[in-house]
Structures are given as structure tokens and as C-alpha cells.
Structure 1
Amino acid sequence: MDKVPSVTTSAPAPSPLPPLSTADPLTAEQWRTFLAIADAVVPSIVSEGDPSSTIPVMATGFDDVVGTLARGMPKSAGADAANDQDRTALARDYLAESASSNPGFKPTAWRMLAQMPADARKQLTGVLNLLNSRPGSLLFTGYATPIADQPVHVREAIVQSWNNARLQLFRQLGRSFSVLSKVCWLKSSQTLNRIVDCPDVPVDRRLEKSFDFEFIQIPANQGSAPEVLETDVVIVGSGCGGAVCAKNLAEAGHKVIVVDKGYHWSTDHFPMGPSEALEHLHMEGGSLLSEDNCAFTWAGQAWGGGGVINWAVCLQTQGFVRKEWAEKDGLPFFTSAEYQSCLDRVCNYMGASTEGINHNKANAYLLEGARKLGWAHNPCPINSGARPHWCGYCGYGCSSSIKQGTVVTWLPDAARAGAKFIEGFDVEKMLFEDRNGMKTAVGVQGTWTQRTPNTTPSPDAAKRPVIIKASRVILSAGTMQSPLVLLRSGINNPQLGRNLHIHPVIFMIGVYDEDVKSWEGPIVTAVVQEFENLDGKGHGAKIENMFMVPNSFLGVPLWTGGLDHKMVVAKLPKMIAYFSLCRDRDGGQVYPDPADGRTRFRYTTSTFDREHILQGLIGAAKIHYVNGAREIICPIPGLPVFRRDDAAASSGPDANTDAGDPGINDPAFQAWLGQLRARGLPHGDTFFGSAHQMGTCRMSATPRRGVVDPHGKVWGTDGLFVADASVFPSASGVNPMVTNMAISDWISRGVSKGIGRAKAAGNVVASL
């Protein structure tokens, strides 16, 4: 077993955010209204105060609230909370804090609003303008007085009325404002992390120096003429697909250049803070929303792609999925011994195994709950090389390099084999020539943007057009971007961008009597598979554990009121959140924003897939119950919190007193499950999360059914391949990293053989 890096007391190096946009996203009046609503969602709560800016609570009730918060804090909560008096003072500070009282709240909101697509921001500013007017205020709030002029408790009641309105338009309005306000507060709060006792970095942060990547620097002051480079293979994207291709092709002796729009961040910057991680390591600042605003997905965008931010899970493609791809999609490779060799090769290379795993409480409870219920469950292999990986912050970057991801293994080995790299390279299109009537890829064209070491480019950073000529082009820009690059390159295929699968999830939260601190320890080391094949055709749901760093998770609980929400999120140290992850049968579509070309997507979770998620949620609730959760919370509007009453469970009118503990047969729990089933996951009111994207350049046996052929080559072209999760014929049903890597391993080895055959024939551009 390799040596585990020692614990360091040093803080991560700064990862400065880019400057705020000079163009204010809102007018002064719009800001006034937005901040007034935010302060209703996250209000200042005091015993006595000005009702225009605070919510006063009667002294007796306020003392009870403060006492509840102080008693619920972890014993070590806050550096200033060593005794009861300090804990009480911290509780009062937390309650008194409003959204806008934090200096960082408005800049955080500014950044998020400025990053919104133009049409979404136009809708938001239109609503703010209406709320600034007396007629609009009357229409939206029932009061002629503009909402910004109302006292806080009235503003809070207005947002609550939106959330509970009969018209979906108002419910979506309430959700939009409450989510925006919560997320910006979570990123900027000066008291939250102290009250839940969650440090900004792991208490046992380990640091191992990252590989010293060298990036090609383009001469900046050369006018508008493009810089021209030449290579055998250019790979667009350094994520889980591109990194595997780079290593394989470089080690096979080919000249390789890997380009990426993102930038490299060394391990001394990890884990980043939430704002920095979302800005530097994710697409669109971590806020990729579906067209109907009912789903979001996290997608990596940095040097190393999703391999930098994923949670280390290494599940191989399951047999029923492989059978579907082979038989239904006409791709026999997926049931071949060769594909299994690809799976094993990438897993062995990364040290993917269950050895060295020390489950945290959340994952241990998941396995134990499934055992108690007699359900199928297993530990999850992770790519830690059998070394202990006690890090719950890996979604913001792994400082220890124990996670054997793209920037620790594949890309360094590619560099050692001679591959060259360019960061900050935004590919505009592929370049083609007509050769013997065939559209043949001969390179890529894009723009390189310079940065100084470990900082992001400034608005006046040097830029330079670049052309890279190559005999083979591999597109590994990811599911959300690869189809857009092909569209910009003139590839006309009706399947392009379609068949988007995202593994939509909903969460089930258990609140326990004891502190569990789910942000400590490995994120996902267990999976429950009881519900993974509900239709007999490989569609269903898995149950896994959630990334529980406050700023990433606490946007999940629904907002029902200012005080209630503060009390709920303060329970984070006692929370475990499992998600029901669906292998979605029905897909969506990626498309370019008509205003600026950025990635947009249409995705509505189908009735079929929602039912499977619901079954997984019911399973997650039962796991929480048998493990002793005091409360069970599901973020479905209209569904109450389940609160356990052990005395009632064993002595109620329907209880069997001779049977002892009724377990999940507790009548109150069964009644709550009945409410959950009856409520379901109503379309338009349920918000789905996602961290997986697949299928938008799907592999197919014929050009009519997909974008690439069984070897990964784009139909109707020569020399152009796609190697990332976008080529999945359908959803993988498991965390897609290993499937992506195995397919990319196959494709890149085929590309290498094709180049070898072409060179032997004296024709470097010959096709496979």
C-alpha cells in the first residue's frame, strides 16, 4: 500500500474569483426588491426589533428558540462556543443574520445573476419591475404597496403564499426566489458553518504535491494571425474520456496534443471554497438549469474535467445494461470479452477496489439499513488505490491525490509519454477537407486565453486564435458540450444533442439524535440495488449517499418560512441524506443558447422515471427509519416532515404489542409513506438534481439511430471520433466514470491501430 500523505495544518492556497461583471445585472430598484425578498427568505429574527427589517419574536418564544439551537449544536461548535454562554451568543448571532447583512451576499447574487442566460434574466427582471409597481404588486402579492416597502413578516407571508398558490406560475416564482436567496446565503453566511461546526476544509486535510503540468504558451502579441500547430492526434477535452485517450495514444508513440477550455488547479488549492469550486471547476458556475427550471446538473469544467470533482465511485457497467446495448442497440461489443477487458484495465489502473475503505456513518448506516430490511446492497469500489480516503470534500477538489483521477494518473502518464497540453483553449469548430468525397477531419480551430499561474484570466487577458492540424481528431468535451462543437462544425445529424440522460435524483433526509457529521469521511462507499430493475428491463433506482458540505447540500430542504428554515439547516450535523438515482429511460436534449451559444438543455423527468425515483425514495425513508432517524424529510412540496414517536409506535391502536418493536410497520410511519405515495413527484413542483450527463452523441449500429459508429467515429466523416459519456447508447445506470473510461479505452486503441495501418499503407489520413 502506498504511503498516505500526512495531515497538514495549512489552509488551501487562494483561488481568486474573476472580477464581477462591470455591467450591473439589475437596476437599483430591482436590487432593492430582490434584496427585500431575500431578507424575507432568510430574515433577521430577534426578540425585539424594527419590523421593517426584522421578525420580532416574543421574548419567551425567542429564548426557547435560542435554547433549542444552542442545545442542538455539536459540542465543538464554533471556536467561540466553548461554553453555554458562548453557544447562546452564537445562536443569537445566527438568528439575527439576514441574507443581505452578509457583505458577501450581494456580490454572490451579482455573479449568479450575471451568469444567467439572457432570457432567464429578462424574465426575472421583468417580475422585479412588476413588483416595484403598484399594479404589479397588487397582481403578484395582493397588496398595492410594493413588496420592498412591506415589513419583513408580510414579505415572508407573500413568498409563502406563492409557494402554496394554486397556479403553478406563482409556485415557480416562489421557488425561484427562495432557491436563489438560499443559495447565495449559504455561500456568504458568516455564522452557518460555525453553528453546524463544519470547517471550510477537512480537519485532517492531507496534501500531496500535484503533477507539474507544462502547458504550451502561445505568443500573445502576434496580431490577429492564428498560431498554427501540428500533431498526429488532437484531443478536445481532458476529462475522463480525453485523459484515457491521451495516455493510450501517447504511450503508443503518437504525437498528441490535449486542449481544454478549463484551467489546471494544483492540489494546494483544494478543496476550494464553494463559490470558488463552482466557478473554477464547473460549467456555468455550477448552475446548469433545464429549460423548465425543474432540474439542474453539475458538470465539470477544468483541467481534468469531471475527474477533478467526482466522488471516486467506480461501478462497472452492469450486465442488463450491456445486454440492452448489445441486443437492442445492435452493439455486440458491449457483451464481448474485449469490453470486459477495457473495464478491468481502467479499474486496475486507477486502483479501484473496496480495499482500504473505512465507511463513515452515513455509508455504514446505508449498508446496515439495507441489511436489516433484507435488501440487495454492496460497498462501492473507489479509485483510491486501496488507501484510506477519509475526505468528504472531494467534490471541491482532492488535496491528497489519493483519488486516482484524471490529473493524478492518466494525464501525468500521458505527459511522461510525450503528450503536449494547452489549457484555456476554447474550441470553436472542427476543420475538414473533402478527400475522395469524404468529409475528413484535419484539425481544430479555437481561441486560447492566457492566464497567470493559478489565477483566472482577467477581462483584458491576452487571447490568440489557434489552429491545430492533425490526422485524427478526438472530441471529448463531455455530454453537454461535444454535440455543440459538432453542430458548430457543420455536422448535420438529427440525433445530435438528443438522447440526453442525467440520472435524475431526489433526496431523502434523516435527522438523527446523535451527531453524524456526514461531511466527514468518504462520500460514496455504499449502494443499495434493491430497486434498480423495477420494470424488468434494467430501469429503476439506486440509493447512494450525498455530498454533505453545507453549501452544496443545504439548498435541498424546502423553504417553508424564515425561522423554520434556519432551524432545519442548523440540524446538518445530525443529518444523513440519501438520494434515489434513476436510470432514466426517457431523455432530453442539449442545444446552444440562441443569444450567446452557451449550453442549454431541455429535460423533463417522465412519469415512468418519476415512479422509479419514488420507489427508491420510499426505500431510503425505510432505511432511515430502521436506523433510528428522529425525523425524515423529503423535499417534495406539500409533504409534511415525519417525526418519530417511539412510544406511540409501540402502543398505538394498530400496534401489535406482542410483536415488540414494529419497525417499519409503525402505523404513523406507514401513514406518512401513504402520504408520500399519494403526493408522488408532481411535475412542475418537484426539483430534480443531477451530476451525470450521457448520450447526446450516442453510439449506434446505423447512422439513423445515432451520431457515432461502433468504433466512436462520427457517421459521415473520416478521422473524427467522439470519446466521452455522450456516446453512451442510453443511461448507464451507474456513476458513469468507469463506463466512460472503458469505452474511451476501446475507441482510442482503435484510433491507434487505424493510424498504424494508415502509416503502414503510406497514407496517414486513411480511415479505420
Structure 2
Amino acid sequence: MPRSADDFLARMLVGEVPRPPTERELAALGAALDTIVAPVPDAHDVPEPLRSLRGTDVVRPDEALELLRQRTGPGAFRKFMMLLSLLAKPNGTWLLSGGKFNKAFPDMSLEERVQMMLNCQNSAKLQDRTMFVLFKGIADFLVYSNPTGRMPAQLYDVLGYPGPDPDRPKSLPSNAVPHFRFIDVPAAEANRAMPLTMKFDAVVVGSGAGGGVTAATLARAGMRVVVLERGQWHKPEDLPLKEFDTFAAMYDRGGMTSSEDASISLLAGNTVGGGTTINWAASLRPQVYLRDEWSKKHGLPWFGSEGFQKAIDAVCDRLGVGSAAIKQNSTNSIILEGCKKLGMHAAEIPQNTRNQPHECGYCGMGCSRALKQSSALTWLADATKDGAQIIQSCHVDKILMSDDKKVARGVQAVVGPNKIPIIIEAPTVVVSGGSIHTPALLLRSGLKNPNIGRHLGLHPVCVVLGYYHESTKPYSGSMMTAVSNAVENRDGKHYGAKIEATTLHPVVHAAQSAWANPADNKRQLAQLDHGACMVVLTRDRDRNARIILDDDGSPVVQFAISEFDGASAAEGMARAAQILITTGAHTVVTGQRNVPAFKPPSTDIGDPKAVAFIDEIRAKGVHTLQTGLFSAHQMGTARMATTPARGVTNPRGQVWGTQGLYVADASLFPTSSGVNPMITAYSVAYSVAHWIVEDVKGKDSGANM
């Protein structure tokens, strides 16, 4: 990883491996937590106990720092320690504040700390905005997720939030949940002189959309298959349905993955079933224009073929994709109603729920009803029936290859907290770790194709929040069942943005909230039960993003939003704001930190004040670290291409130059998909899996699609 100037400075200040924090550094972190989440005794319109809540009431600075250490890479943690080191000293604060403050951060008054945070938020300097985004993100996540259990018991009551899903079923039918064949690697193996070695016909790294369908296809063809999964299996009846516990158990880095500069948060699965276990059930097929672009512009005719259509149909059939039983919740209904009033496109989003009603607003924490047909409940279950086995809590260090890298021979991995070393010998290796971890594994394994890790598509998402006089119960009902494509084609080449919806829970709400001062922030948070969250999903054309390796070989995401993609996002936000205004929201808050909240005088989007607000959204735009962004879709970091100069794999998913090594996940996408990528990822991997069977067993093997 190239070492930047701030990384070099961080090593100088806190060491190659960060030393334990000093008391003053912990005090600086505590002061930051108590600035973002501060008591507001004079704000009598903020209900108790939210009014009196301070960050360190819930999480002490030493606890917060330990959680950060566990959930960030060494480079990011070292830079954060450098920030605390500077804030702990008067001259450091003077430097960070541009000479405006000459006190150590812990010694400043609350008013001074608030002003410094606002200065950082509104600064023209990226490093200043990074500091604000870091502290707000850490405080929002660690306070409102309640990792210590010290949050006041009445807080959820004043938010109108019921806590863990009160409607979850008390029991499930015995046939609703599969019984996997796990390989237990005993802790005693940690003392072996040599790694434990196992032999299979194929090893699949990852169990999400790509890994699941690949394992099922290979196992059905009679191959002895093992699936290696970084996360663990959580039965639907055992899901905690609490934000902190869910993030810790089922999300990459405990839900705290972000880009190197903290400009975009990344949500990715870390559990059996991968992202399909914790996604929002949106099951959109790849659009015709996408298939045409991949087929013609990228020279991959398979994607325009009847064969790929059959792959899509087979995937949707197995997942039970349909829209017949959809029941719209409040926020999705707002999209449909608002678009109808405005004459904008709107449509229902099918769900993978076997055409059964699925009013589960907690599905981002896993489906306690076992209705959402994840990879675990479908393809992995099929693979298990055909003999496939799974090793969970398994981190794959590298792919084993011949010395010249021309032949794959298996993988080297470690299992569990004791990091028990194992070797899987297999002539077929399939990497399906997702577009963050797939390129990291290829890079750790010594492959040199310069395309590895590049072309990262993220579908950057920004939000627009609306608040209504009536309760909306935004945490309940189907999560994502309506979409508007009104601005999906800004350039005539189908790059633009989609408007969708999602449910709101306390951490998600806090993370997307505005922050001009602690009191106004708490006033907004108190309106959770009256909120509606529009998500604007941008099909990123320019993809200024890539994956590189940190000191320990873990992935680092580098990202910057381009001018075109930012304009697409801003136009999507403008249209989303119009939807909220026309449906009666009394307050509209965009994710743009430089656009104040708006209180519409009426539902008329032609009102001069409304027009000025919409114009301001467009004019201010979406820029790095000035607008809150997150990504739940990662794509393209090992893309399929016609030559090794253009991509990482050949048109059949085999890594260029290495026999027996394949990629089968969204990393293969030549471009961002433009729709929620689950169905596309399944369908691409379904195709690759059948090609693998052909390569191994011959074209007459019965694997034809």
C-alpha cells in the first residue's frame, strides 16, 4: 500500500503498531463523544432521557477505542490514534483548527468544541471534513447501538421504537431451516507442527450469492465441494435483531467498514449466506440496457444471449422472486403516491419471498421468519443435500498455486479465534468473497494483473429524510418494495440514479441525521417514529474507487465521487425531496451537510420556497465528505473481460493465466449494475459455475444451462 504523508506522520507519532492510548488521548475521544451526543438541558422540546443523554453515559472512551481497534485495519487505526494524539495537546488542536483554538480538545468548553466540529464540517479541506465525519460516525454508531447496555431503558420509548422485532415468530416449521454439514476444526489442531490438510475436488471461498449458487452447481455435478466462510451461521430463530449485536455478528468489520478517508460507509455481509442474509430482499433483474452494454460495448455476447436469460430465470425461480404478495409500508407507499402526483415513473420491486407477504422491517438484521430466500436457505441448502461441506469462521490467507502461478492447487487458511492453520488441496478454486475481499485475496496470493482491485463500483447512496405529523412506523413493514427510475438515464447511456426506500432503526437514523448542534440533532432523532427515508442509489459511471492492501493484507477501499456521479446523486435527491414535499412532509432533511433542513409551507412543489430548496440541492451537489454516503453494493474489482489488459478473468470467469482459478461473484461485473445487484450476481455466478463443470467434466457433462 502506498504510504501517504498522513500515514507517515501517524507512524512517527504513534508507532508502526499503535501504542496504548494516554489518558489525555482517551479524554480527547471522550470529549468528542460528548460533543456529538451532548446533554441539552435548555432544549425542553427534546424529551427525556434523550435530552440528558451524553455519549460517555453509554460507552466509555476506552471501550470505544477498543471496539475501533477490533473493527478497523491497522492503517486506519493508526491515523485515528494520530488524531487523538494531536487533539490531546494545545498545539495539536491549534494545528487542526487552523489556528482558531489553542487549547487541548478535552479542555475546551462544549460551545468551543461544537464550533470546532462545525468548522471542520464546513471546511474546504478534506482532512478537516474527515475529522468531523469520523467523530460523528463513531458517536452515532457506538452510542445509539448501545454496545454496553447502558443506554437508558426509556430512550426507545421516547423515540417510538419498539426495540427487537415484537412480531417475530415464536417458532418456525422444522423444514424452514437447512441443516448444514459443517466441518469442525478442533482447537487442538492449533498445536500441530504442520497445517491440517484436507482434499476436495473444489473449494469455494465465500457463501453469498456467488458462492452459494456455485457450490450447489458443482456439488450437483458430483464434485466434492467445501465452502469456506469468514463469518458464522446464525439460525433465524437465534437472530438478536438488535443493531449492535447484528452488526457485530453478521457484517464486515462489525458494520464499521468505510473508505480510507471515511467518505463512504460500506455494508457487506460476514455470515453464512453473505449479503443475501442481511439484504433488503430487493430482487430486480438486470435491465435490458445493462445486458446490451456488457454484450456489445464490453464484447461479452453471453450477456445478451438466451442462455443468460435462462440463467436469470433459473435463479429467480429458485429464489421465489415475485411481487404478487407485496404489501407496501409507509415509506414505499410515499414513493408510489408521490410519483403518481408528480407524474414520475414508479414501480414495485419484486422480493425473493416465494410470493408470500413479508412485512419484515428488520430483515437487514437477518430474516427471523425464514421467508427471505437467502443463499443459505436455497443454494447452500441444495449444495448440502448433494454432499457439500462448510467451514465457518475461516479466513483464507492465500491461494496456493504452482511457482509460475499458472495452476491453482488449493488455498491456505486459518480457522476460528485461535487461527488454526489449514490447507485445502483442490484442483478447482472459486473465489466468491465479494468485491471487497475477492480482490484482496487475489492480491495477497501474488497475482499481478493491474486490474485486480480496480473498477470498483459502489452504487453510492445518499438519503433524503422526511418527517410527517402522523406516525409512520418506519422500522416496520416490507423494507424495499418501490422504485422510481425517473433519473436513471441522465447521459443517454443509462447512468443516473434510482429512488428507493428503506426502514429506519435508531443507528441508521442517527447516522443519516444532520448535525448543526447537539440540540437540533436530538430534535431530529426524537422524530424517528414520524420519519420516512428515501435512498438515492447512483449508478456510478466513473468509479473512482479501488481496493488495495493494508499492512496486514486486509482490504482498504479508496474512493472519491466524480462530478458526474455527484450530479446524478443530487438530481435524485432533488426528486426525492419533491416526493416528500408533495406527500405532506412537514420537514425535509437531505444528506448534504451544507443544505439546511426545509419546512415546506405547503404540498405544492411549485411554491417559490420549495423551488428555491430544490434548486439549492442541485446547486450544492454531492461532493466527497460534504454529503453522507454509504454503499450496500460492491462490484467490479475482478471484472470479466476479453483480454487480460482489460480485466481479471476471461469471459468464462477463469482468472487470466491461471488454470483452475475462477471468480464467481459481483466482482466480475464489467460495470455497475444500476439495480440492486443480487439477481445479477447470482445469474453471473450460475453461468460461471456451469462453465466450471464443463471445464472439469467436459461439454457433454450434463451441465449445459
Shared fold, TM over 0.5:
yes
1:751 to 689, 692, 700: 692
Match of 1:665 in 2: 606
For the pair 1:723 / 2:664, whether they are aligned, the reply is: yes
2:411 aligned to which of 419, 439, 444: 444
Q: How far apart, CA to CA, are the structure 2 residues paired with 1:198 and 1:23?
A: 39
The equivalent position to 1:40 in structure 2, one of 29, 35, 48, is 35
What residue in structure 2 maps to residue 198 of structure 1? Answer: 161
Who is 1:703 aligned against? 644
Residue 248, structure 1, aligned to residue 217, structure 2 = yes
Distance 2:122 2:429 in 1: 52
Q: Kindly provide the amino acid, as one letter, of the partner of residue 704 in structure 1.
A: A
Is 1:157 the equivalent of 2:152? Answer: no
Report if aligned partners of 2:545, 2:557 keep a CA contact under 8 Å in 1. Answer: yes
What's 1:319 paired with? 288
Q: Which runs of 5+ in 2 are unaligned?
A: 1-16
Q: Which residue of 2 aligns with 1:565?
A: 521
Determine if the alignment matches structure 1 residue 619 to structure 2 residue 575.
yes
Cα distance in 2, alignment partners of residues 349 and 432 from structure 1: 35
Aligned residue type for 1:395: G
Confirm or deny: 8 A CA contact 1:25 1:114 kept in the other structure: no
- The 2-side partners of 1:687 and 1:441 are apart by 42
CA shift, 1:25, in A, is 5.6
Is 1:26 aligned to 2:17, yes or no? no
**Residues 1:390 and 1:693: Cα distance change in structure 2 (over 3 Å):** same
CA RMSD of aligned residues (A): 2.1
Distance in 1 between the 2:656 and 2:96 partners?
Answer: 52
Gaps of 5+ in 1: 1-21, 47-56, 70-90, 450-456, 647-660, 761-768
> Are the equivalent residues in 2 in contact too, given 1:271–1:393 (CA < 8 A)?
no
Counterpart pick for 2:136 among 147, 170, 178? 178
Aligned to 2:57, the other structure's residue is in SS state: coil
Superposed CA deviations along residues 105-159 of structure 1, whole A, max 9, x for unmatched, are: 7524530244333333333333323332233344445344433223333332332
Contact 1:135 1:144 in 2 (8 A): yes
User: Is the Cα–Cα contact under 8 Å of residues 327 and 357 in structure 2 kept in the other structure?
Assistant: yes
1:331–1:710 CA contact under 8 A, matched in 2: yes
TM-score, normalization by structure 2: 0.91
Moved more, 440-449 or 323-332: 440-449
Q: Counterpart of 2:673?
A: 732
Q: CA deviation at 1:307?
A: 1.2
Matches within 5 A, 1:268-417: 268-417=237-386
The alpha-carbon distance between structure 1 residues 229 and 678, as it changes in their structure 2 partners (threshold 3 A), is same
Partner secondary structure for residue 397 of structure 2 = strand
- Quickly say closer, same or farther: Cα 1:224–1:303, change in 2 above 3 A: farther
Give 1:527 shift: 0.7
Q: 1:213 aligns with which of 161, 172, 180?
A: 180
Alpha carbons of structure 1 residues 92 and 717: separation in structure 2 relative to 1, 3 Å: closer
Aligned partner of residue 137 in structure 2, secondary structure: helix
Alignment partner, residue 764 of structure 1: none
| Paired residue total | 672
Q: Is the 8 A contact 1:242 1:723 kept in 2?
A: yes
Kindly provide the amino acid, as one letter, of the partner of residue 197 in structure 1: G
Q: Deviations over 1:152-183 (max 9, x none)?
A: 33332332333334544433323322222222
Q: CA deviation at 1:296?
A: 1.7
Letter in 2 for 1:553: H
Give yes or no for contact 2:545–2:560 (8 Å, CA) kept in 1.
Answer: no
Moved more, 204-213 or 563-572: 204-213
Relative to 1, partners in 2 of residues 1:573 and 1:703: Cα closer, same or farther, differing over 3 Å?
A: same
Q: Distance in 1 between matches of 2:696 and 2:84?
A: 58
- The residue matched to 1:257 in structure 2 has which SS? strand
TM-score by length of 1: 0.84
Aligned to 1:73: none
The change in CA–CA distance for 1:254 and 1:502 in structure 2 (over 3 A counts) is same
Q: Look up the match of 2:9.
A: none
Closer, same or farther: CA 613–164 of 1 in aligned 2, 3 Å: closer
Instruction: Measure the CA separation in 1 of the matches of 2:338 and 2:700.
Output: 58
- Residue type of the partner of 1:348? D
| Alpha-carbon separation, structure 1, partners of 2:198 and 2:94 | 62
Q: 1:124 aligns with which of 65, 77, 80?
A: 80
Q: Please name the residue that 1:54 is paired with.
A: none
In 1, Cα distance between equivalents of 2:468 and 2:120? 31
Distance 1:393 1:645, change over 3 A: same
Residue 438 to residue 170, structure 1, CA distance change in 2 (3 Å): closer
C-alpha distance 693-137 of structure 1, shift in aligned 2 (>3 A): closer
What SS class does the counterpart of residue 218 from structure 2 fall into?
Answer: helix
Pairwise CA distance, 1:279: 1.7
Closer, same or farther: CA 135–366 of 1 in aligned 2, 3 Å: same
Query: What is residue 461 of structure 2 aligned with on the other side?
Result: 505
Q: Which has the larger radius of gyration?
A: 1
Tell me if structure 2 keeps the 8 A contact 1:445–1:467: yes
Residues 1:569 and 1:105: Cα distance change in structure 2 (over 3 Å): farther
CA offset digits 1:466-524 (Å, max 9, x no partner): 22222311111111111121122222211111110000011111111111011101110
Q: For each residue in 1:576-633, what CA deviation from the matched residue of structure 2 results, as whole angstroms up to 9, or x when unmatched?
A: 0111111111124443433211110111111011111111111101111111111111
d(CA) in 2 for partners of 1:289, 1:505: 13
Of residues 562, 568, 579, the one that matches 2:535 is 579
In structure 2, give the amino acid aligned to 1:119.
Answer: G
**How far does the alpha carbon of each residue in 1:169-222 deviate from its partner, in whole angstroms, 9 at most, with x for none?**
433323322222222211124354221121222221124363222311234434
Contact 1:593 1:599 in 2 (8 A): yes
Letter aligned with residue 258 of structure 1: V
* Alpha-carbon distance in 1 for matches of 2:391, 2:75: 33
Contact 2:18 2:81 in 1 (8 A): no
- Name the counterpart of 1:427: 396
- Residue 272 of structure 1, CA deviation: 3.3
